[in-house]
Every structure is written in C-alpha cells, then in structure tokens.
Structure 1
C-alpha cells in the first residue's frame, strides 16, 4: 500500500477570533494548519497559534481567489483541505478525508457536502443542501483568480463526493450576513464590469424574480418552512443587488 499522504488544512481569515476555536478544533488531526490573515484587529492570530497553526499575513487584499492561492503556497502537504473559519469538519467527514489520505486516487479531487445554518436551522432544501464544494485536492491544483465566488480549477480531473458534512455556520447574525452579501454583490458587479459585461434593466427584474422562484419552488424551499421563505427573499435581494449594481456601473453619468 502507498505511503499515507500528508494533509494541509488551509484557511484565509480576518477578525475571526470568535469562530476559529471550534473550526480549528475540528481539524487538529491534520498534519499542518495554514492560516493567512488579511489584517485582523482581534485575537485571530493568537487563537490560530494556540492551535498550532502556521500564521502568515497579507493585508493587500487581492480578492478571494488570489488570497487562497497565496495561502496554499505556504502549505507543504501532499493534499489541501481548504476551509473557512465558519466551517467545521464533522467526525464522519474526517473519516472520509483520512480514508483518502490512506488510499488516494489518481487525478482526482473530492467534493464536500456542506450543511448550511440559516437563522438557527440547518437547511435541508432551498438549494442549500448538500451544497457540494470541491475542497479536498492534491496540492498541484489551485483556485482561480475570481474576486468573489472563487472556485478550484479542476481541469479534466474526476470529482468524487465524500461522505459526511462540512458544517457551515452561514447565517448566525442576519445583519452581518446581509452586509457580507452586499459586499459580494459589489465585488461580483465590479468584476463583470471590468470584463466588459453589461446588463439591461429588464435583466435586473427577471433575474431577481427567477432567483426567488428557483429557491422557493424549484429547489423546494417551502419545505424549509419560515427560514425557506426568508432565504428565497434574501437570494432574490442578493441577485437584485448584483444585477442592479452592474446596470448602474454601465449607466453612470460621465462627468
């Protein structure tokens, strides 16, 4: 049997001292933990060091994709497990990851099913479960350059789903969640505008209505009860902000 592969857990963070302890506690079994901080003003760095993490800093924010690339460059493991401070590796998922380290497959990345918390409830519908993300992969793979909603460049590799949930504390504070959504919408619109993308006014309305219908009806958000209805509204609002911002950037008055 091949030698067991070394695993590096990699995070990017800023002002996450409250969330980090449970996150890092769930991955202390990894061979190393890498945390790249983007200018925390709380105890994030101290907490990370308490858990044995190797801490680095980059305050010149390049966007999520490039920040993850930089964080990964400090890792020495054969495999990367990329997580965020508001995520926790469940015991079942840990077992799945360790099985991969003992018997990895050639040219393969692994998807993790996220269980997302929204206003006190782990959602089971609404397009939020299992919310698979490609987060476990050989260190030869890297993230793309996207400013927001970055993803792993998987090329022609196989993608294998793992058993066990990655617990994601998506929305603990509604106002903080909304502020984050607004910042994501701004980054999304700015990137599309720089790429030469334009947006008609009708598209703002159609995409907004489409987001609500997709979440509430097509993705069975109604089965998630009150949280499902609120999430459908939030998704519609987020979509409106994205396309309205892109429309506005395309129609700014020239001074």
Structure 2
C-alpha cells in the first residue's frame, strides 16, 4: 500500500480577512496551505500567516484562471485542494479527501459538491446544489485554463469522481456585494467573449434572460427553495441580461467606431 500523499490547500484572495479564519481552520489538517494575495489592503496576508499559511503575492491580475495557476505553482504537495476564502470544508468532506490521499490515483480528478448560501438559506435546488466543482487533483498533472472568469481545470479526459460531503460556500452573505460581484463577472465574461470574436443580437439578450429565469425557477425547481428561490431566479436572469447586454454593447460600440 502506498503512503498517504501530501496535500496542499491552495487559494487566491484579496481583502478576505473577515472570511479567512473559518476557512483556514476548516483545512488546518492539510500538510500545507498556500495563499496567493492579489494586493489586499486589509489584514489578509498577516492573518493568513498567523493561521499557518504560506503567503505569496501577485498584483499583476490576468484573470482567475491564471491567478489560480500561479498560486498552484507555489505548492509543494502531491495533491492540490483548490478552495476560496468563502468556502469551508465540512468534516464529512475531510474524511473523503483523506481517504483519496491514502489510495491515490493520478488519473482521477475529484469533484466536490458545494452547498451554497443565499440570503440566509443553504439552497437545495435552483441549480445551486450540489453545484459540483473539480477541486482535488494531482499537482503535477492538471492545470487551470487562462480564463478571465468562471475558470476551469483542464483535466485532460481524467476520470471524474464525486466525493461525499459538502463544501460549504457562503455565496451571498451581503446582497449588494453579491450584485457588485455579479456585475464584475458579467463585464469580464462579455469582454472575453468579445475578444474571442463572439457577438450577439438584441433578440439574444431577451431570449437568454427569459431562459435563465425559466431554467432556475422551473427546470431546476427553484420554487422549492421558497422566497430565496424566486429571488435567485430573478438574480440569475438579471446576471444573464447584463452579460449579453454588455456583449451587445461592445459590438454596437465597435460598429459605431468603424469608418463609413
């Protein structure tokens, strides 16, 4: 039987001091914790060091995918567990992770189910649960794509294995902060698609917006999440509208700037 592999917990952060302690305590059992700071103005770096993390800094922001990979490159463990400051590893998930490290398989990428908090309620429907994400993998085999937003792990056809236990995600603690983040994501999404040559029509804005509401509220049973489900369906529709309206606006501005 092979020896248990070393685990590096890796996260990127900026001004996350208010969330960091509970996050790092939930993974204090790992062999090392690596935090890459993006230029915090609060106590994030010093607090992370106090809690036992190895802290590095990179202010040259090139998108979430690139930043995660830079953070991963600082890790020395055999396996990577990639998390965020607003996530916490539950005891059951810890047991699942430790079991994987005792019987490692480099050809597998492990997928974690996230339980997302929205306005005081951990959602069970609306497409927000189990919200599986690929986060545990062999350090020297898998890397992140260079995406500006909604970054993804390039797992190269590996077998995906679902782990038991939840990754608790404090998605929406402050509604206005959540909305601001959604706007930033929408702008980054539209910019990336525009630079890739993508365009959209005025009709696409409306159809995608209505589709997002219907998908969340009906197809993903958001109505079973009560008032929060209805609000979330509306928020998802708003976010979708912002994405496609921004993409349309980029295209419209380009047309106006072109010489007649």
The alpha-carbon deviation at position 233 of structure 1 amounts to 0.2
Asked whether 1:57 is paired with 2:57, we answer: yes
Deviations 1:213-241 (A, max 9, x none): 00000000000000000000000000000
Asked whether 1:124 is paired with 2:124, we answer: yes
Q: Which runs of 5+ in 2 are unaligned?
A: none
Equivalent residue for 1:149?
Answer: 150
The alpha-carbon deviation at position 105 of structure 1 amounts to 2.2
Equivalent residue for 1:96?
Answer: 96
The alpha-carbon deviation at position 158 of structure 1 amounts to 0.1
Equivalent residue for 1:235?
Answer: 236
CA RMSD of aligned residues (A): 0.7
Equivalent residue for 2:177?
Answer: 176
Q: Is the Cα contact below 8 Å between 2:11 and 2:34 reproduced in 1? A: yes
Q: Structure 2 CA distance, aligned partners of 1:71 and 1:154?
A: 17
Q: Indicate the SS of the match to 2:257.
A: coil
Equivalent residue for 1:39?
Answer: 39
The alpha-carbon deviation at position 131 of structure 1 amounts to 0.2
Q: Structure 1 CA distance, aligned partners of 2:75 and 2:45?
A: 17
Q: Is the Cα contact below 8 Å between 2:110 and 2:162 reproduced in 1? A: yes
Q: Indicate the SS of the match to 1:19.
A: helix
Q: Structure 2 CA distance, aligned partners of 1:145 and 1:213?
A: 31
Deviations 1:182-202 (A, max 9, x none): 000000000000000001110
Asked whether 1:254 is paired with 2:252, we answer: no
Asked whether 1:11 is paired with 2:14, we answer: no
The alpha-carbon deviation at position 106 of structure 1 amounts to 3.9
TM-score (norm 2): 0.97
Q: Structure 2 CA distance, aligned partners of 1:32 and 1:106?
A: 20
Runs of 4+ residues over 6 Å off in structure 1: none
Q: Which runs of 5+ in 1 are unaligned?
A: none
After TM superposition, the structure 1 = structure 2 runs for residues 71-110 of structure 1, keeping only pairs within 5 Å, are 71-110=71-110
Q: Indicate the SS of the match to 1:250.
A: helix
TM-score (norm 1): 0.99
Q: Structure 1 CA distance, aligned partners of 2:244 and 2:135?
A: 28
Q: Structure 2 CA distance, aligned partners of 1:83 and 1:106?
A: 20
Equivalent residue for 1:192?
Answer: 193
The alpha-carbon deviation at position 3 of structure 1 amounts to 1.1
Q: Indicate the SS of the match to 2:168.
A: strand
Q: Structure 2 CA distance, aligned partners of 1:146 and 1:45?
A: 25
The alpha-carbon deviation at position 104 of structure 1 amounts to 1.3
